[in-house]
Amino acid sequence: MSSLTIMSTLIRRELRTAARTRSYYLLGLAVGGILLGLTFGGGGAATGYIPTVVDLLLPLEVLVPIVAVAIGYRAVPSDLDRGEVAMLDTYAVSPSAYVGAVYLGRAAVLSAIVGVALLVVGLVVAAVAAPDTGVFATHSGVDSPILFGRFLVVTLLFGNALVAVVLVASIAVTSARTAIVAAIGAVLVVVVGGEAAILLGVLDGVFNEATLRLALGFVPNSAYRGLVFETVVGVLSAGESGYASPLISMIGLVLWTVASLGAAAGLLRWRIG
Amino acid sequence: MDWRLPRRWQVGLTLFVLVVVIPVALFGVSVDSAAPEPVPFQDTRAIGVASAEEIVADDTAAIPRVQVFYSQYQYVIGYYGLPTALAAINEPATRQQYGHPLVTYVTDYSNTIPSVGDDGRIDTERLPAWTAASDAVFVVDSGATTPVGEAIVPFRDRDDATTFADDTGGRVVSWATLSEQSFETDDGAVVRDRVAEQRADADAWVADRTELLDRERSVTVGPDDDLQAAIDDAPNGTTVAVAPGQYPGPIEIDHPITLRGPGATIAGDGAGSVLHVTADRVAIHGLTITGVGNQTRNPDAVAGDAWDANIELGYGHGDAAIKATGANETLISDVTVPHTPANGVLLRRSPGGVVTNLSVAGPEDWHDGFMGVIAMYSPTVIQDSAVTDGRDGVYLHRSDGTIIRNNTFRENRYGVHLMYSSTVLVADNRMAGQEYGGITVMTDPTRNAIVGNLVRNTATGISTSGSNSYIAHNGVTDSRIGITTTAINSLYEHNVVRHNNQGMRTGSVVATSEVTANDFVDNDRHAGASAGPLRVWRGNYWEDALTTPSGRTADRAYMPTDPVDGQRHRSMARRTVAASPVYQGLRELTGASPGLRSGSILDPDPVETPQNPELVETTAALHTDGLAGVSETASPP
């Protein structure tokens, strides 16, 4: 079997497992419900996409990591517990291929849950957003579904980076029961710790504007927030930019993903080897 | 042949499009590439002229027009005149609220064969169409004027512009050049700086008219004499003294004398006006007037063909205790009208008058009465007077520059009612129990100042309109709505609203006013918003709205229109809700896109203590004891 075939078999196995897991549907409903609740609660949806993004951004910074933990923490440990990883070894499946496949499967689940929820929110905005009064001629300004699309893409990039972080944390501990603790701990370290480190750095005057933007790119939450500010909300004001360096933030999120997956594969190799 | 790709390729291709192509495309596409098409000007929210001028200039070509689509504002804003538009576009507050102009359209005078009349007015043979400002050139210094100042005339066709410039002695400039120039409009702060001067002018105005009381006495009339004959015989510039007693009316004064009679009553026969003044510089002092007719309009009156002829016929030809027509600089002082079924004092085309210490009472039901003082085309000082039970305490029509101060109005329909009148000062009046409103401004005037008034128990305490106005140091209590912020580009500061159903209410989709340092105390809702964008009001005091369980005041933005925030001062449980991270997360960035928000108000920097402690105390007394609780002469701030 070629490694590509193995990968696709494994991914399909992951997706089948996910499709059978009823709690994911519940999770999806819960996330959708929360986002819709926030959308209506925030009031921005009444007028357009950007106000909606502004309403949802901070809640999503908390919600998305939680979803990543819920989806990712058991994936590898339960296979390890059941000895399936050892069995895969007999088929000459490399740890990298295995980790990659598991990741892609889980990332697909997160993308489906968060993506569909945001799509529904987007459709709601498209349906209900309207000016308060028809007395005057109106237009939508720079507000457009494209900006909401960007928000969706950046949110998924953020969420999927956290799935990778959750995977590596869950492999670092010995059992599925402790995996959740490790996963939550890792997410906390990344989400809160990274932000706290930046804050400390700013307080101590370590950063100048350029290095701060660099540092923001390498903390997932900051990178996410910066990207949304820069590529979605900031579009409102021409010539106003510098909330983040989009390229660095994008690279930062991808690096978190790739590095976590690399570490996960290495750890797994070491554990079964 | 089977053209379908293998299934694996299909899946791969779909994934590639979903995961790579679409996301990359989303970031690659420019969001403001498609410029909206121009809309009919009457559909825009038009700014720049008062209604009175707008009606006069209702010719599409007379004022070059502009419409702007802002990046983060839903409503298309129209401007009368390029200077108005350029001043607004360059204003930092506009950028903050609306973002940058996505596209700006101007009326194009190419192919319209424009000319400039002797009065400076632009005339065209065809109606101008719209063109993008960036595609147009502009003729300045052509000598053409509009009701809002110098005309800058746009042309899409450069040759037409050059022809027009050559004909008129103007020059042609580009949009870029024009955009770099600085244009300014008077905002509420300019009006604020004018108030002291306007008070002083009024003092001088009153002092001059009061000199009419110093005229030498030429005759003293007793109850058995013929008053009309004595008046007719009195030389110009003298005083006719009227001894106490009753005299039959009606009386006409057609030359400049002073009629002076403490204790004297002139009794009309219940038909028509009682005293009719038709000459300049007549003074009427110390009389009581009864027997006023009950007609509020005159079917035989003629008013010419001006745009407001019907308004004049409807309001300006009723019966009055004292009627002045074509009589400049009239003084009416210490006059009592114990009952009038029509007007108290009617001034029509009689500018420069002073009405002081007048007392007028109408029928119990305002529907049966008319105005305490009505001034049409008559800038007047109306002061220290009292009107009870009338339709409107003071009604103005096209009387720019009128000063209404230190009056008391009780139980009318409106206390002060401004129609088509700009640059008016309404100061230090006290009013209670008006059915519809205390001070009501209509018809989009500009540069009015409403300062230091106290209003209690009415539908809308102070209802503003128009633009560039100054509304400050007023106290409104026990009303349905305290103050509306409908006048745009205006300054609302140091007002106190307490015990109202709604303290203040926004009323315009244009959020260019500054609302600051006001105190909101004990209102059911401190503020409400009608249709329009998010209004940012800075630095106000919202009583009890930000108190935390520890008794301290939270240092954070406040949204009086929010169901949670807006009831924090009334509901302890909502304070618990307001402290939730979810709520705070939702609210944290709300101010980021004000122009795209709707129907709400945000104070990003609420203050912890009342900004106007004295007025807060005064309004507390007004709330508990009514007008009896506040001093007769409100002290100017």
Q: Where are the domains of chain B?
A: 41-180
Q: For A132-142, b where at least 16 C-beta lie within 10 A, e where not — what string?
A: bbeebbbbbbb
- Phi, psi dihedral angles at B273 (to 5 degrees): -80, 155
Q: Which residues pair with A197 in a beta bridge?
A: none
Shortest distance, CA A25 to any CA of chain B (angstroms) = 22
B44 contact A CB<8A: yes
- Phi, psi dihedral angles at B9 (to 5 degrees): -70, -40
At CA A208, angle to CA A206 and CA A212, rounded to 5?
85
Whole-angstrom distance, CA of residue B386 vs CA of residue B502: 28
Count other C-beta atoms under 10 Å from residue B17's C-beta: 12
**Cβ contact (<8 Å) for B598 and A47?**
yes
The stretch A71-99 carries a mean pLDDT of 80
DSSP B6: P
Instruction: Give the residue with greater pLDDT, A112 vs B547.
Output: A112
Instruction: Provide the pLDDT for residue B634.
Output: 47
Whole-angstrom distance, CA of residue A187 vs CA of residue B305: 79
**Long-range CB contact pairs, B488-493, < 8 A, 24+:** B488/B47, B488/B512, B488/B513, B489/B47, B489/B185, B489/B187, B489/B188, B489/B513, B490/B187, B490/B188, B490/B191, B490/B464, B490/B514, B491/B187, B491/B188, B491/B189, B491/B191, B491/B192, B491/B516, B492/B188, B492/B516, B492/B518, B493/B517, B493/B518
Query: By mean pLDDT, which of A138-152, A157-171, B427-441 is the weakest?
Result: A138-152
Closest CA to B419 of B376, B379, B455: B376
DSSP B104-128: EEEEE-TTS--EE-TTS-EE-SS--
Shortest distance, CA B77 to any CA of chain A (angstroms) = 9
The stretch A49-54 carries a mean pLDDT of 88
Dihedral angle sign, alpha carbons of residues B121, B126, B127, B132: negative
Kindly report, residue by residue over A179-232, the tens digit of the pLDDT. Answer: 888 888 988 888 888 888 888 888 888 888 888 888 888 899 999 999 998 888
Smallest Cβ–Cβ distance between B36 and the set A54, A62, A139 belongs to: A139
* Contact yes or no for A154/A179 (Cβ under 8 A): no
**Cβ contact (<8 Å) for A136 and B75?**
yes
Best of B31, B37, B39, B77 to disrupt the A interface (most A CBs within 10 Å) is B31
Instruction: Provide the pLDDT for residue B283.
Output: 97
Closest CA to A80 of A181, A187, A178, A186: A178
Between A and B, how many residue pairs show a Cβ–Cβ distance under 8 A?
130
Whole-angstrom distance, CA of residue B214 vs CA of residue B211: 5
B577 contact A CB<8A: no
For chain A, the residues whose C-beta falls within 8 A of a C-beta of chain B are 38, 41-44, 46-48, 50-51, 54-55, 57-59, 62, 131-133, 135-144, 146-147, 149-150, 153, 231, 233, 235-239
Shortest distance, CA A213 to any CA of chain B (angstroms) = 20
Look at strands B65-70 and B77-80 and give their pairing. Answer: antiparallel
Q: What torsion, rounded to 10 degrees, do the Cα atoms B482, B488, B493, B497 define?
A: 10
Structure tokens at B84: 């108005």
Which pTM was predicted? 0.81
Smallest Cβ–Cβ distance between B586 and the set A42, A149, A235 belongs to: A42
* Contact yes or no for B411/B389 (Cβ under 8 A): yes
**Cβ contact (<8 Å) for A132 and B586?**
no
Best of B24, B32, B75, B488 to disrupt the A interface (most A CBs within 10 Å) is B75
Instruction: Provide the pLDDT for residue B559.
Output: 86
Kindly report, residue by residue over B482-495, the tens digit of the pLDDT. Answer: 999 999 889 999 99
B602 contact A CB<8A: no
Smallest Cβ–Cβ distance between A54 and the set B31, B44, B590 belongs to: B590
Best of A7, A103, A138 to disrupt the B interface (most B CBs within 10 Å) is A138
Q: Identity (one letter) of the amino acid at B78? A: G
Instruction: Provide the pLDDT for residue B635.
Output: 45
SS3 state of residue B409 = strand
DSSP B217: E
DSSP A192: I
Q: Which residues pair with B245 in a beta bridge?
A: B264
Contacts of A144 in chain B (CB under 8 A): 31
Shortest distance, CA A5 to any CA of chain B (angstroms) = 11
Best of A9, A47, A229 to disrupt the B interface (most B CBs within 10 Å) is A47
Indicate if the pLDDT at residue A158 is higher than 70. Answer: yes
| pLDDT less than 50: residues of chain B | 1, 634-637
